[in-house]
Chains A and B, each alone.
Chain A
Amino acid sequence: MFTGVIVSIVSMAGIGFVLSLILAIADKKLAVKEDPRVEEILEILPGANCGACGYAGCAAYASAIVSDNAPIDLCKPGGNKVIEKISKIMGVQSESVEPKVARVFCSGGEKETVKDKIYTGIKTCAAADMVGGEKACTYSCLGYGDCVEACPFDAMYMNDNGLPVVILEKCTGCGECVRACPRGIMQLTSYDEVVHVFCSSRDKGAVVRKICTAGCIACKLCEKDDPTGAVKVIDNLARVDYSINKAPVDSIKRCPTKVIRIADPVPGYEDLFDNMIERNRKMVEEIEKAKNQSTKENEAKKKA
């Protein structure tokens, strides 16, 4: 019996030793030289494996850049710094990607909204959305924090009012929260977009008034107050056309529910906001000048 133990130990150890020897030799003899650039790029990438680039992870993206000539500007979390470094390694020039930050397009938390149902199911937005959630508004934030869960950078939390908050200095704009939200409340915005409509409801004003005190009621006051024509109410929801004007600050003055407002700037990028507001001021001035001129001309015509 004792010999049996020894034989089995020795034979297993022998097999193990021989196999590991073979593998160790093979590792040296059959080593394939990987492009050292893959390793270098991998070190530069953020390493969050968020998948925003469309590859399986940072390692897959790094090898795709080197061997498959993948574009080097796909890493959104890394932003321009990473692109610059990669372009140095690869010797490629690239256009910079516009940095983005996620924002929450719903202002209807616990205090503002009316609840007309009780939901006792699984506490995730994805599940709650299938049956409609607790709030009466079918466009509102469900409040179970799927976006917070999805954030790979710990850049989100739920506030006391049951709404998610994005910590702007931590947000990299990878878009995981956008994909996680079943109602499309999380959206990526550019750093220089100043005025936003923090509501997603496309219900009619009368309906919104009944169920939420912080929703867009499509009263069109913002549309009237903005001389640049960037703010338009479409489908019962005010929208800002950022290709025309990124800071139509006049439009926010009379909003009865304060749902169109100046967003918090990303820390360190406040000057982008100031630039846009300055640009808006000039646009408004020009428009007013043109208006004055045309009224004068009209008056002159009338007199004539």
Chain B
Amino acid sequence: MEVILIFISAVLVNNFVLSYFLGICPFIGVSSRLESAISMGFAVTFVLTLSAAITWLINQYILIALHVPYLEYVAFIIVIASLVQFVEMYIKKTSKAMYDALGIYLPLITTNCAILGLALFGALRQYTFIQNIVFGIGAGIGFTLALVIMAGIREQLDLADVPEPLRGPAITLILAGLLALAFMGFAGLISS
């Protein structure tokens, strides 16, 4: 039950993009086409899940065991960066098709604050290993959801008659704000 709550909370109620405002850079940058939005969402979900597992282990068995939890920022950043680098190498070696599909998105994710945010939230809320992984999957799906919705709207936006000064990033930011407002509607779903 706890796990399901964490999942739904991460996807909808506390959506990483639309309520924590984490990972806004790819949210604006990669949401102009539905196809690339799905690729990016897939890649982020993948990395989020992996890093949720690894950072939990690092946190539990190194940082907490050695009584140096204040090192979590530095430790998580280097762990995530190396993890993404490693995954990229591994995918390049094993699956050329997947490497081409993820393309430039994988290295971009390294510097995505949503990943660090997930690791820090996980440590702060003292999730168990399973809970942390579910949290990672949920956050990834939430990110993908936000990205796909945004991309869908932006594809329609190309056909709309937007006032000249608002074209481009301006209308995109307004859209993001409205979407975030809409997601506020989920706030009552979970009481905690």
Chain A residues with CB under 8 Å of chain B are 4, 7-8, 11-12, 15-16, 19-20, 22-23, 26-27, 30-32
Name the one of A7, A8, A15, A32 contacting B79, with C-beta atoms under 8 angstroms.
Answer: A15
Name the one of A7, A15, A30 contacting B90, with C-beta atoms under 8 angstroms.
Answer: A30
Asked whether A22 lies within 8 Å of B58 as measured between CB atoms, the reply is no
Give chain A residues whose Cβ lies under 8 Å from the Cβ of B63: 11
- With A11-B66, A15-B62, A30-B93 as given contacts, are A23 and B86 in contact (CB-CB < 8 Å)? yes
Would you give the shortest CB distance from B102 to chain A, in whole angstroms? 15
- With A26-B90, A27-B89, A30-B93 as given contacts, are A12 and B66 in contact (CB-CB < 8 Å)? no
Give chain B residues whose Cβ lies under 8 Å from the Cβ of A31: 93
Determine if B97 is an interface residue (Cβ-Cβ < 8 Å). no
Give chain B residues whose Cβ lies under 8 Å from the Cβ of A16: 78
Asked whether A12 lies within 8 Å of B89 as measured between CB atoms, the reply is no
Asked whether A11 lies within 8 Å of B79 as measured between CB atoms, the reply is no
CA distance A11 to B86 in the complex (A): 21
Name the one of B75, B79, B89 contacting A30, with C-beta atoms under 8 angstroms.
Answer: B89
| 25 A-B pairs (CB sep. < 8 Å) | A4-B67, A4-B68, A7-B67, A7-B68, A8-B70, A8-B71, A11-B62, A11-B63, A11-B71, A11-B75, A12-B74, A15-B62, A15-B79, A16-B78, A19-B78, A19-B79, A20-B82, A22-B82, A22-B86, A23-B82, A26-B86, A26-B89, A27-B89, A30-B89, A30-B90
Asked whether A19 lies within 8 Å of B82 as measured between CB atoms, the reply is yes
Would you give the shortest CB distance from A129 to chain B, in whole angstroms? 14
CA distance A22 to B66 in the complex (A): 22
Asked whether B92 lies within 8 Å of A32 as measured between CB atoms, the reply is yes
Most buried by B among A4, A15, A23: A15
Determine if B128 is an interface residue (Cβ-Cβ < 8 Å). no
**Sample of 10 more A-B contacts, CB < 8 Å, known A12-B71, A26-B86, A30-B93:** A7-B66, A8-B68, A12-B75, A15-B58, A16-B78, A19-B79, A19-B82, A20-B82, A27-B89, A32-B93
CA distance A26 to B93 in the complex (A): 10
CA distance A16 to B58 in the complex (A): 12
CA distance A23 to B89 in the complex (A): 9
CA distance A23 to B75 in the complex (A): 16
Determine if B85 is an interface residue (Cβ-Cβ < 8 Å). yes
Residue of B nearest to A19 (CB): B82
Give chain A residues whose Cβ lies under 8 Å from the Cβ of B67: 4, 7
Would you give the shortest CB distance from B78 to chain A, in whole angstroms? 6
CA distance A12 to B77 in the complex (A): 11
Most buried by A among B67, B68, B70: B68
Give chain A residues whose Cβ lies under 8 Å from the Cβ of B86: 22-23, 26
